[in-house]
Structure 1
Amino acid sequence: MKRLDTLQALPGDAAFDLLVVGAGGAGLAAALFAALRGASVLLVEATGHVGGTTALSAGTSWIPGTRQGAQVNPGDTLAEAARYLDNAIGDRADRALREVLLAEGAATVDELEAQTEMKFRAYPRHPDYISDLGGSTLAGRALEPLPFDGRRLGALFALLRPPIPEFTVLGGMMVDRTDINHLLGMTKSWASFRHAVALLARHARDRLGHPRGTRLVMGNAHVARLLYSLAQREEVTLALDTRLVELERGATGVDAAVLVQGGERRRVRVRGGVVLASGGFNRHPERRRALLPGIDIGWCPGAPGHTGEAHAPAEAVGARYGEGAMSPAFWAPVSRRVRPDGSIAVFPHFVMDRAKPGVLAVDQAGERFVNESTSYHLFGLAMQRAGAVPAFLVCDAAALRKYGLGMVRPGGRGLAPFLADGYLVRGETLADLARALAIDPARLAATVERFNAHAEAGHDPDFHRGETAYQRNLGDPAWPGPNPSLGPLAQGPFYAVRLYPGDIGAAQGFATDADARVLDASGTPIPGLYAVGNDMHSAMGGVYMAPGITIGPGLVFARQAARHAAARVPASGKP
């Protein structure tokens, strides 16, 4: 891979087989699949880092029917996956898109594993989110990237978007769920002790020569593996801090683009087409006001490059947004805190706290409004429907020590800074906590009393918490009560953090066909224009029905786009 430090290095008649706009997970994959087919690729990224929100995520890819999935769930079938998709999505998205996901998913993974550095595994238990729907499964469809040694990237390591600092420990050490379990259990088993000591020793060595840990997991591992694979391909040219400002449509379709880098402006010709993979509309001020009214941009934990700036040039050549999605965005409850450097930490509450025993969520009236163990997407939507903004995630002292709360780590130590800046609110009694949160003490006490009675019985008739396999999986498997997701708030002091509905990605984007070709107002594909990742209208119809339903389709449709675009390149233009 070649680095293009300045657009001035491009000749005036520069031409590439493919222009990929955006170097997040889907854009990197599109560039890689095109390079595997011998196409010359110019990959441009509007920020100074690669990886987008994929680099900040868990890095899971939902792709049924793979060899890796069969190792943990040999009984699963594509027919069952199709049934689940039909039940979950219905007519919110074109059925042809999910048919491609099922038909091409395994081949996508196989090609990556055979020809690149991408390596996957299926976690032994990773349920679909709506696990009470027909066709759902408890494991085998969600793939995770294997950890990656960032030192192999050499100088490219600095280009990789770092993870959210609050998702790391000890000054930049990344940990996944396996690591967390070993760290928490290092005094309880020899295996956990050895695993934890090896992690800590590796991180200590890393900090001697690197600004953060180089053992990469989750989304950072996914992106690093794509980047390392691209680094081996001479067909690819990477330009950072470079924006798309114009597309040109000629007799054969989109055949040129205008790029801007600093004060430099360059026109490049494209033979096969342009792939939009810029991350979606989320940080575009006007589109945000129109599609996400009332949702503060400060609640979005996504990467900074998702400005939607590349969408206007696409619309100028006829592209249109899709319609009918469950929601224009995907959601998670988030909490916010000012970091020492003045930046704002936006922390998504995915799995670590809200579904654990001794934790519940209330609105500003002190009443429950949601099943706390539902998916983060449905939790965020429930907050908006109930007007619970902010909401409060409340726990007792025992739950705080065991599970942590948001950015507060398990163990119950080091609370002073969180209490001092107001991120964490404490009350010696529930009444004290209620007054600190400006909630009616009697109403909060009544809510907790009712919740505690249901927790003791192990059944939640109000919101049915912990009744599905997915919800119980989020609970505490070591909990001695009848429901691993339900436990009373019994031991003071009591704590709370404020929650806001955070948009974690765009679900509404450009309408496409099964080859990821962007459609115009008549439903006709625009030759030479493709959209993948969150620039593409969600193949899931805005339904977050499983882990990895953005990254998985991002890979599959990146391959579809790359194959189709590479086939458009005239034979005389191919290497």
Structure 2
Amino acid sequence: MVTDRQGSERAIMDRQVDILIVGSGGGALTAAVVAADRGADVLVIEKGDRFGGTTATSGGVLWIPNSHRVAAAGQEDNDEDAIRYIRSLAGDVAPERIRAFVEAAPRMLRYLEERAGLRYDAIPYTDYHAEQPGGRLGYRSHEPHPLDGRLLGDALERMWPTHQSAMLFGKITWTASEAAPLISRSKGWQRSLARVLWRYYSDVRQRVRSPRSRFLTSGNALIGRLWLALEARGVPLELNTALKDLIVENGRVVGAEVVSGGKAGIIRAARGVILAAGGYERNGRLRGEHLTASPDAGWSGGQPYNEGDALVAATRIGAATERMDAAWWAPSVSVPGEDRARPLFFERGLPGAIIVNQAGERYTNEAASYHIVGSQMIACDRPGAGTAPSWVLFDQVFRARYPMGPVMPLPDAFLSKEVRSILHKADSIDDLAQQIGVPPARLIATVERFNRFARNGKDEDFGRGDNPYDRYYGDPKAGLNPNLAPLAKPPFYALRVDPGDIGTSGGLVTDVNGAVLDTSGRPLPGLYAIGNTSSSVMGRAYPGAGATIAPAMTFGMLAAEHATGRNNLA
């Protein structure tokens, strides 16, 4: 059950469980299901007033090499290629952690399908760096089947909704197969649009009550399934219950001090505490210390409660950290009044848009993965040519055909006043440059150079459209290159873009079981960390869509198994 502790008269005083799980995202709920199946008394606590964490707001995709769903799709994969691929990107990550993930992730997916009702398909979504050794052109990323939100009852409104960036018009859910033709205006896009709109607006009963869609896709479909699995097992999930400190006795973590409903309490955990509370991306102090090139928490697309409480509590008892300056980077656009930024996940690769720095120059392949473009915004920032902020530019042809963050391909009058307030518009590149404060002559030269590349179908500066991932979000009707088209038809538009993120990826150091290590490299007995609370098994890299959630869920399973005893199956 989901219990809302806000304003409760009763604190959780001296409560005793086997496993305490802090956080309620995909990794947390996976750990809860597995631990409960192994006979443990489990409690899940969540700091916020909604459950699901970053996972619920995400696309819900899982990056799992060599799963049974890969074979079901008629594709071939193997563990060694996957390990080779991750190692080519992940740098100094311990090889045994990489192998633990690759070997356990398919087992995790099969387990949750068989025991928790998850439904996933491997999809033809290319790895972000498919050209690397061991890379694949698709079928490692897995998409969840939609879920009928009515099955969740009142809990639907207590689950975080999908991020606005991942919904049509910021509120209408869609599947990947529906979104793809709509984004690129490819064959069948009108039918997809009609189906998506009809499904949403024909649910008259729900439209009267709430703008929330009951057709759950993406991370909502994943979290909804896991929540139903917890309900079936009687595992409580308590909201508005924040971790304050960890309790250590005789060198072992035995529970936690919490604040619930405004009152302090103690939860003792006989077998372990699993920290799954996300990263620290919304903590301005920690960003200022560690993410010095991106210090503004408002640039993050992470959900507001990700403030690093679990990370801080663990370091107070001697836990080691690593790569604290790392994040899942993404160029982001901030809309006034919204509680988080909107990452530009795919729009940058569509033909007819470019990103320029404060000198009016391009500095990266705009169609690369959001993590690579965000990383370039960090790496290329320099005096006189700053990239924080940058500007994304597009013309009227793009404006009429494609979305760009919160700017939908609709007449200006249909955009909200908040979106109109951040959208710059001019009849010439010269005038646009003056509006956004970049040197007009240099911006004009940049656009002319890019337009020449676009007409020839070859980006001679950054190779846009050369890689498989680039082309995945291109428009095949664009001509010689699906990612290139000139910016030629006025009016011209610009949006400010900041070096944002969808979560931090550095954190607590863990072993192959998700056990937290101290500063001397030894496990802290009774303490585990998974997801963005831990340092990612992917290092500073982002191998493919779903490479954040799949490790969180996999190490959630491994942590639960370790805490309950691998051979102690219920």
> TM-score band, normalised by the shorter chain?
over 0.9
The answer to whether the 8 Å contact 1:187/1:193 transfers is: no
Pair 1:364 & 2:358 matched: yes
Distance (whole Å) between structure 2 residues aligned to residue 8 and residue 419 of structure 1: 40
Give the Cα–Cα distance (whole angstroms) in 1 for the partners of residues 562 and 88 of structure 2: 30
AA aligned opposite 2:102: L
Candidates 355, 378, 385, aligned match of 2:379: 385
Q: Secondary structure at the match of 2:495?
A: strand
- In the TM superposition, what is the alpha-carbon distance from 1:285 to its structure 2 partner? 3.3
Query: Displacement, 1:310?
Result: 2.2
- Identity of counterpart residues, as a percentage? 36
Match of 2:311 in 1: 311
1:350-402 CA deviation, whole Å, 9 max, x = no partner?
A: 01x21111111111111111110111111112112222111111111111111
- Distance in 1 separating the partners of 2:38 and 2:191: 44
Aligned partners of 1:182 and 1:196 also within 8 Å: no
SS at match of 2:560: helix
Match of 2:450 in 1: 451
- The residue that corresponds to 1:24 in the other structure is 25
> 1:70 offset after TM fit, Å?
2.1
CA offsets per residue over residues 66-119 of structure 1, 9 Å max, x none? 1112233522222211111121123x2111111011111111000000011221
Structure 1 residue 172 displacement after superposition: 3.2
- The letter of the residue matching 1:33 is V
Distance 1:202 1:230, change over 3 A: farther
**Corresponding residue number in structure 2 for 1:33:** 34
Give the corresponding residue for 2:232. 232
Say how many residue pairs are matched.
562
Range with greater deviation from structure 2 (243-252 or 52-61): 243-252
Report the counterpart of residue 52 of structure 1 in structure 2: 53
* Cα distance, 1:181–1:86 mapped onto 2, change above 3 Å: closer
Equivalent residue for 2:326?
328
1:220-275 deviations in Å (ceiling 9; x for gaps): 111111112111112x1221111111222223721122111133222222111000
User: What is the identity, as a one-letter code, of the residue corresponding to 1:39?
Assistant: A
CA RMSD in angstroms, aligned pairs only: 2.5
Q: Does 1:376 align with 2:373?
A: no
Preserved CA contact (<8 Å) 2:335 2:422: yes
- Corresponding position of 1:174: 173
Partner amino acid for 1:116?
A
Q: In the alignment, is the contact (CA less than 8 A) between 1:73 and 1:140 conserved in 2?
A: no
| Code of the aligned partner of 2:470 | Q
Gaps in structure 1 of 5+ consecutive residues: none
* CA deviation after TM superposition for structure 1 residue 190, in Å: 8.4
Match of 1:436 in 2: 435
Q: Write out per-residue CA displacement over residues 177-220 of structure 1, whole angstroms, 9 at most, x where no aligned residue.
A: 32335667799688547734652454444313444111011111
Which secondary structure does the structure 2 equivalent of 1:501 belong to?
A: strand
> Is the 8 Å Cα contact of residues 356 and 474 (structure 1) preserved in structure 2?
yes
Contact 1:400-1:412 within 8 A present in 2 as well: no
Q: Structure 2 counterpart of 1:376, which letter?
A: Y
Separation in structure 1 between the aligned mates of residue 12 and residue 532 of structure 2, nearest angstrom: 32
Give the Cα–Cα distance (whole angstroms) in 1 for the partners of residues 248 and 310 of structure 2: 15
For the Cα contact (< 8 Å) 1:419–1:426, is it kept in 2? no
Match of 1:346 among 341, 344, 357: 341
Distance 1:568 1:254 in 2: 20
Report the CA distance between 1:430 and its aligned residue.
Answer: 1.4
Kept in 2: contact 1:126–1:139 (CA 8 A):
yes
Report the Cα distance in structure 1 between the residues aligned to 2:217 and 2:397, rounded to whole angstroms.
30
| Contact 2:330/2:344, CA 8 A, preserved across alignment | yes
> Which amino acid in structure 2 is aligned with residue 493 of structure 1?
P
Distance in 2, Cα, partners of 1:420 & 1:83:
44
- Provide the rounded CA distance (Å) in 1 between the counterparts of 2:338 and 2:113: 38
Amino acid at match of 1:106: P
Secondary structure in structure 2 of the residue aligned to 1:270? strand
Native 8 Å contact 2:5 2:261 kept in 1: no
The residue type equivalent to 1:361 in the other structure is I
Letter in 1 for 2:341: V
Is 1:122 equivalent to 2:122 in the alignment? yes
Q: Distance in 1 between matches of 2:233 and 2:188?
A: 46
Q: Name the SS for the 1:478 alignment partner.
A: helix
Contact 1:60/1:145, CA 8 A, preserved across alignment: yes
User: Normalising by structure 1, what TM-score?
Assistant: 0.92
TM-score by length of 2: 0.93
**Counterpart secondary structure, 1:354:** helix
Partners of 2:419 and 2:515 in 1: how far apart? 52
Q: Give ranges in structure 2 of 5+ residues lacking alignment.
A: 382-386
**Residues of 1 paired with 2:566 and 2:142: CA distance?**
32
1:160-191 CA distance string (max 9 Å, x none): 01223454346832123323356677996885
1:284 corresponding residue in structure 2: 283
SS at match of 1:547: coil
Q: Which amino acid aligns with 1:14?
A: R
* Match of residue 566 from structure 1: 564
State whether residues 334 and 499 of structure 1, in contact with CA within 8 Å, keep that contact through their aligned partners in structure 2.
yes
* Residue matched to 2:384: none
The residue number in structure 2 matching 1:43 is 44
Q: Is the Cα–Cα contact under 8 Å of residues 16 and 269 in structure 2 kept in the other structure? A: yes
Q: Look up the equivalent residue of 1:348 and give its one-letter code.
A: P
Aligned to 1:254: 253
CA–CA distance in 1 between the matches of 2:233 and 2:563? Answer: 18
Once residues 418 and 211 of structure 1 are traced to their aligned partners in structure 2, the CA distance between those partners, rounded to angstroms, is: 19
Counterpart amino acid of residue 199 in structure 1: R
Cα 1:239–1:450 shift into 2, 3 Å: same
Contact 2:345 2:370 in 1 (8 A): yes
What does residue range 132-151 of structure 1 map to in structure 2 within 5 Å? 132-151=131-150
Distance 2:67 2:445 in 1: 49
Code of the residue aligned with 1:147 in structure 2: it is P
Output one character per residue of 1:137-179: Cα deviation in whole Å (capped at 9) or x when no partner: 0111111111111110012112101223454346832123323
